[in-house]
Amino acid sequence: MPGREDTANRRARLHEVETKLALLRERLDVTGRSAVALTTQASVAWLAAGLTNPIDRSDPESLLWLVVHEDGVAAVTTTVERPRLEAEAGLEEIGFTLVEVPWHDSDAFAQAAEKITGLRWTELAPDEDDLTALRLRLLPSERERLAGLGADAAGALEAVVSAWVPGERDLDLQARVAEHLERVDAIPVCLIVGGDERVERFRHPLASGMPVEKLVMAVVVAMRGGLHAAATRFASAGPLSDSVRAAFDAAFEVEAAMLDAHRRGSPYGAVLEACDEAYAAVGHPGAWREHYQGGPVGYRQREFELAPSQRESRWYTQSIEVGHAVAWNPSVAGGGKVEDTFLVEESGLRRLTDTGSWQAIEVWGGRTRCGVLDIAR
């Protein structure tokens, strides 16, 4: 017999699903549609309140489709996945009807969606940009889950990077970060660990088995329940060189300008304009072209990527709202990089990847950020 906590969790999940269904149906009405099939890991996890089914972690397509129609929601999956989902996914509790299709028929999912709705696939295919827009504003329950994930993601990085012993291989450090995350049911969908001059030369110094002697960088985007949190941490064995320190100082200044521009009600384009201006101000005009600058996070590691030049993009005028989560990622050639996950709240930005245990520094504008940990001190 379920306890009070289980009952409360089920009610909360059902409420979340019903809220999202109402948003989705409202969007369907606006676009003159009566049904839609959600086919990606991101959209399925969003509507099903955190249900994930990543058999192939590299595949954005889901082996569970959610077909939303006038009479309800059908959850379509293969003969392989049905027994587990039926037993463990709680689909019946949220009002979803489970439908089975053969795993060996590549057209079976679309054909099932057509049979359920009586519509052609061209009438059911999702508009992924519209779904992204619906996902941006996280509900309170999602914000709470993302905060827990952010703490776990940062905690994994910080535990490993702070315990780094100069001479260890980057692959061994990377393995320990992955282990920390897997033990808390988080998947490292992006994990980059590199060291020394490779950090200064490359934005993505993928682990290659090299020993790390003087400087280590660890980057992660972790996923749990469909949500993503991103963070980067550095440590050094002794003082940084003047050139690396200058690159870090510049990256911190660019991020500070972006965060200052990140005001509720302002368009995301304003943040990218501040990004462009800040790179010029620190002596690196146009350096945003050298690396991704980050953006909103949620049910993808970046719900959308945006560059200062993309003024025609629908995301350039997208308003920043309470409940949005972002992870900006400015970097400067020579080793400077900064990244954390923030939640937009009524009072401003809250850093979700702040464990309170990392060496803090005050950067331009008076904001406190994670510095480079000197393990030699």
What percentage of the chain has pLDDT greater than the value 70? 99
| pLDDT number for residue 66 | 98
Q: What's the confidence (pLDDT) of residue 207?
A: 98
The verdict on pTM exceeding 0.85 is yes
Neighbours of 102 (CB within 10 A): 10
Q: What is the mean predicted confidence (pLDDT) over 223-249?
A: 97
Q: What is the pLDDT of residues 105-120, one digit of tens each?
A: 999 999 999 999 999 9
Distance (Å, whole) CA 251 – CA 338: 6
> Which residue, among 301, 300, 326, 296, has the nearest Cα to 314 in the 3D structure?
296
- What pLDDT shows up at residue 93? 95
Query: Rounded to whole angstroms, how far apart are CA atoms 122 and 297?
Result: 29
Confidence tier at 130 by pLDDT (50, 70, 90): very high
Q: What is the pLDDT of residues 42-58, one digit of tens each?
A: 999 999 999 998 888 88
Predicted pLDDT of residue 58: 82
pLDDT tier at 6 (50, 70, 90 boundaries)?
A: confident
Give percent helix, percent strand, percent coil of the chain, each to the nearest 5. 40, 25, 35
Tens-digit pLDDT profile for residues 175-212: 999 999 999 999 999 999 999 999 999 999 999 999 99
Interatomic CA distance for residues 144 and 131, integer angstroms: 21
Q: Which of 202, 272, 196 is nearest to 241 (CA)?
A: 196
Number of H-type helices and E-type strands within the chain: 11, 16
Torsion on CA atoms 268, 270, 271, 274, rounded to nearest 10: 160
Is pLDDT of 368 > 90? Answer: no
CA distance 372 to 215: 9
Residue 3 is predicted with a pLDDT of 67
pLDDT tens, position by position, 312-361: 999 999 999 999 999 999 999 999 999 999 999 999 999 999 999 998 88
Please give the domain boundaries of the chain with CATH numbers for all domains. Answer: 4-135 (3.40.350.10), 140-374 (3.90.230.10)
Q: State residue 2's pLDDT score.
A: 58
